[in-house]
Structures are given as C-alpha cells and as structure tokens.
Amino acid sequence: MSIDLNTLTIKKAHDALLRGEYSALELAEAYLAEIEKKNERLNAYLEVFEDAREQAKEADRRIKEGKARVLTGIPLALKDNILMKGKKVNASSRILQGYVAPYDSTAVSRLKTQGAVFLGRTNMDEFAMGSSTETSYFGPTKNPYDKSRVPGGSSGGAAVAVASNLALAALGSDTAGSVRQPAAFCGVTGFKPTYGTISRHGLIAMGSSLDIIGPIAKTAEDSEILFDAIKGKDPLDCTSIELKVNSQKLKVSDLKIGIPRNFLEMKGIDEDVLASFNESIQTLKKLGCAVQDITLPTIRHALAAYYIIMPAELSTNLARYDGVKYGFYKPGDSLLGDYIATRTDGFGKEARRRLLLGAYVLSSGYYDAYYRTAISVRTLIEKEFAEAFKGVDVIATPTAPTPAFKIGEKTKDPLSMYLADIFTVPANIGAIPALSVPSGFVERSGDSSTGSGRVRLPLGFQIMAGHRNDALLFELGKKFQSA
C-alpha cells in the first residue's frame, strides 16, 4: 500500500501500526525504497543495515502480541558516531576504517527496548568537527533543497535523512549546534537537551564536557517522544543526570521571552534571517507570550571560548587513535613513525587543525593564558544564563546567521565556517537545552538543475530554556509549530 511519508509523524505511524493499516515491515520498505531512489545523489547514508527488515519483522511480532510501545516499528537513522553492536562505526573518519562496535550505546539500547527499527548510519563531519558535513572522509552530504549547498553539520546526514523521507526520525549529536544547525538548514526540528540528560556512553567522544546526543525529527512532538525514550541517568556515564518530570501543566501564554538584542546586532547576520526571526517573535506574541529585550554581555565570547575548550578536550580524546589496536594503520620506520604516518593519513585536514590547536592551548606556558581563561569565560556565561532565566522563561535567537551556504564556499576560510555556530554554541557552553524549529524560507540563487535558477531555503528559529527545563521547550515548540 502507499504510505504518505511527507505528512507522517511518529504518533501517526504508531497509531496506523496499531490499527493494522500497514505493517512495520511495509513502513520500513517504504523508507528503504526512498533511500534506494535518493541516497546516491544526497549521500546521507554511509550504510543501510542488512537486518533492517528483520528488525521490522520483530516489531510486527511485538505489535501482534500487544507489546508495542510508541517507537515500536518506527524507522530511525543513526549518526555515524553512535555505537550499535555489530555495526560499523567510523565517525566518518579514515582512522576508524573497518571498526565494528562491540557494544550498544545506552541510547541505542533504550531504543532497542522500545522496538525501534534502525535503517542505517548517516554521514557526518569527521569526528563531528564541522558545520557543513564537508569534512567527512566519505564525501559531502547534499542539501535536499539545493544540492549545490551544504546540509549543515556535523549531523548533516541525519538531518537530510529526515528531511528527504529517508527516515522518520534520527539520532545526532550536538557539541556546538550539530543537531540544531543542520535541522535549520534542512527544514526539520532539532533538539539539544540539557547536558547529562542523555547518556554519552557509546557516543564517540569529541568534547566530553560539551557532547550530547539529540533527536532530529519533523516536529517538536516527535523530538519529545524520542527524547523521553532515551533520557535518564546511566551508571555507565558519570555525567548523566535524572530529569524530573514536571507534572504542572505549562501555559505558553504565561511565558516571558527574552531577546538578547546586543547579540543580534553583531555583523554578519543575514537580513532575511533577522526578518524571519522577527516574524517568529510576532507568532509568539500571538500565542500570548510576553517579549522583552535582555542583555547577555559575555555571550558574544562563547564561540571563542568554545574553540579553545573543544580542541583541548578533542586532542585528549583523539590521542587513543594510533592504528595499533584498531582502525586504519600505516607503517613507518619506527613505533613513533607508525604513529605519525597513521595519524597524518588517518585524520583529515580539519581534524589535524583542531588536534594541533588543542595540543597548543594545553601546552606548558599557554594553559593558563588560553584554556584556564576559556573555562573562566564559560563560568561567566553559565552565571549570566542563570541570572537571565530569573527574569524570562525562554531566550530566543535565530538558529544560524545565514541560510545554507554553497558547498566549498567556506572550506578555505575556517573562521567563517566556525561563525556558523555563533547562535548555537552558547547553549552548549551553558549546558542548557535548546530547540530549533523551522521558521520559514528565503529565496536564493540555486543549482541550475532546478530550472528557474532560484531555490527556497529553510530557516530555523531557536529557543533556549534554563537548566533542566527541557519540557518547557517542547511545549512552546509544539504551540509554535501548530500556529
């Protein structure tokens, strides 16, 4: 039977599966057919799992036995840095060539308990280092709205999979906006939870104090369903926390929205992005929200602090990849020569750049000047957020300063690429939750194959809440999308 994937949500699919309108196998087949048709052009998936149909058949057995849960039979995509036992996982890097996960990540384990169907693993920037999915060893992923443009990063493949009906939802990871920014560029919803609410066990580490797994879906409601399924304290991750459920019904009309005008008046923000942002604020006003300007003096330094903290943690985390125990290996003329040859050819250009930067800021004589200073700035930003949330419930910004840019446009200018994260990185530095929802389109010149030479590109609207106030964002996001 024909399944309308364009309008399908997790709840709609769940209800249809329970009613017997179609089976989990038929639903999986519908997505697998779309992957077969589109993936060669988009490069969203690196691998489609051979046992996807068997997973769907097992989901059908659960449904028939009356043991279905909300994610039973739901086809999901998995970013290539989240471990699933028996499956390859490369973090889109040559240095992990051929590596097979020996265990399930906690997030995957909890989704397996629900009976979700994993279709395959998706492309990403190498070790999540990038904002465009161009640094992948397996080549760039293409934006489904204009294949001459990037999908954002580092979870670009996951965002494209959801936007192009190659999966109903996906898991990505967010260290500086890697779920939210590609979600904005691809016209879907991306959620970065409060740090610690989802276990990092089985997530290939980049910046350990910043990394968090997050859902990419069509709607805030779908994001919430996925989040609820994988959240919770995990004894395998000492940074994980339990998120208490707020039983009090949230009233969107009672919310106060803060606008950090000092942050929005910085140079480099696209005029159409600002116009769309102001329209989104008007939508919140129509929902009954009160809007007021706020000042966050230190937030403009968040990006600079991030690009010291992250490379420092990265250089430590990636020190384990030497070709001796697993992955890519290239021989040298000595043990040290083996390490140098393996790491030089195993890591891409951007990875090597950040490794060098991280080693530098941690080196003797520079640790205090750079790393310790960045940690101090981080503490100031956390305090500013805490103070701001005493007066407002939500802080709103655009998700990204521009719509999706052309492939190759920023690769020769790393600083310009890093600035793509300017609105998303503060939430990671502050360890607070943030949600990006689609907020409209802008027209730009596009791929000549479109005929007219013009394309409509999606934009995202970001809302941030105080520490552990994840539920508030889902409630507001759902109201915003319904409006």
Quickly list DSSP for 312-366.
HHHHHHGGG-SSSSSS-----SSHHHHHHHHHHHHS-HHHHHHHHHHHHHTSTTT
CA dihedral sign, ordered 7, 8, 9, 15 = positive
Quick one: 375 exposed, middle or buried, by C-beta within 10 A (0-12, 13-18, 19+)? Answer: middle
| Structure-token pair, residue 100 | 């097979």
Q: Quick check: is 192 catalytic? A: no
pLDDT given at position 88: 98
Given 3-state DSSP classes, what are the helix, strand and coil percentages for the chain, each rounded to the nearest 5?
A: 40, 15, 40
Tell me the HSE value of 25 on the side-chain side, using a 13 A CA sphere. Answer: 9
- Paired tokens of 198: 């989802």
Q: Is the pLDDT of residue 249 over 70?
A: no
CA distance 368 to 382: 20
pLDDT band at 251 (very low <50, low <70, confident <90, very high): confident
CA 416 to chain centre: 20
Rounded to a whole number of angstroms, the CA Rg of the chain reads 21
> How many residues in total does the chain contain?
483
Structure tokens at 335: 């043990």
Instruction: Tell me 404's DSSP state.
Output: P
Q: Is 79 a catalytic residue?
A: yes
To the query of whether residue 247 is one of the catalytic residues in this protein, the response is no
> Which of 468, 396, 403 is closest to 440 using CA atoms?
403
Is the CB of residue 165 less than 8 Å from the CB of residue 31? yes
pLDDT at position 364 is 87
Distance CA 17, CA 70 (A): 10
Which pLDDT band holds residue 247 (cuts at 50, 70, 90)?
low
Q: What is the pLDDT of residue 245?
A: 66
Q: Are 474 and 189 in contact (CB under 8 A)?
A: no
Could you give the percent of the chain with pLDDT greater than 70? Answer: 98
Cα distances (Å, whole numbers) of residue 81 to 85, 268, 343: 12, 31, 19
Q: CB-based burial of residue 483 (10 Å sphere; 0-12 exposed, 13-18 middle, 19+ buried)?
A: exposed
CB 410 within 8 A of CB 417: yes
Set 105, 131, 136, 154: catalytic member: 154
Q: What is the pLDDT of residues 317-332, one digit of tens each?
A: 999 999 998 999 999 9
Question: Quick one: what percent of the chain has pLDDT higher than 90?
Answer: 92
Structure tokens at 92: 């889109």
For residues 131-156, average pLDDT: 98
How do residues 157-204 score in pLDDT, each as one tens digit?
A: 999 999 999 999 999 999 999 999 999 999 999 999 999 999 999 999
The 8-class DSSP code of residue 296 comes to: -
What is residue 185's predicted lDDT score, i.e. its pLDDT?
Answer: 98
Query: Closest by alpha carbon to 13, among 217, 118, 166, 23?
Result: 23
- Return the bridge partners of 174, or none: none
| Whether the predicted pLDDT of 267 surpasses 90 | no
Contact call for residues 149 and 143 (beta carbons, < 8 A): yes
Residue type, 224: E
In angstroms, the CA 54 to CA 352 distance is: 40
Q: Which pLDDT value is given to residue 453?
A: 81
List phi, psi (to 5°) of 192.
-105, 110
Whether the predicted pLDDT of 29 surpasses 80: yes
Tell me the mean pLDDT in the region 48-64.
98
Q: Using CB atoms within 10 A of its CB, is residue 50 exposed (0-12), middle (13-18) or buried (19+)? A: exposed
pLDDT at 246: 64
Beta-bridge partners for 461: 398, 437
**Whole-angstrom distance, CA of residue 447 vs CA of residue 454:** 8
C-alpha span between 483 and 477 (Å, rounded): 10
The two three-digit tokens of residue 156, written as one number: 């670009």
pLDDT tens-digit series, residues 86-103: 999 999 999 999 999 999
Answer yes or no: is pLDDT of 377 > 80: yes
**Which of 23, 132, 178, 439 does the annotation list as catalytic?**
178
Quick one: pLDDT at residue 248? Answer: 59
CA distance 145 to 128: 23
**Of the listed 38, 79, 218, 479, which one is catalytic?**
79
Q: Angle at which helices 373-388 and 302-317 pack, to 10 degrees?
A: 130
Query: Which domains are seen in the chain, by residue range?
Result: 1-483 (3.90.1300.10)
135 CB contacts (<8 Å, ≥6 apart)? 92, 125, 126, 129, 153, 348, 349, 350, 351
Alpha helices (runs of H) in 239-270, residue ranges in sequence order:
261-264
Q: For residue 333, what are its two tokens?
A: 């003329």
Taking all residues of the chain, what is their mean pLDDT, rounded to a whole number?
Answer: 95
Which tens digits make up the pLDDT trace of 330-372? 999 999 999 999 999 999 999 999 999 999 999 988 999 999 9
pLDDT of 244 reads 80
DSSP letter, residue 371:
I
Q: Which residues, at least 6 apart from 148, have a Cβ–Cβ distance to it below 8 Å?
A: 142, 406, 407, 446, 447
Q: What is the pLDDT of residues 437-475, one digit of tens each?
A: 999 999 998 765 555 688 999 999 999 999 999 999 999
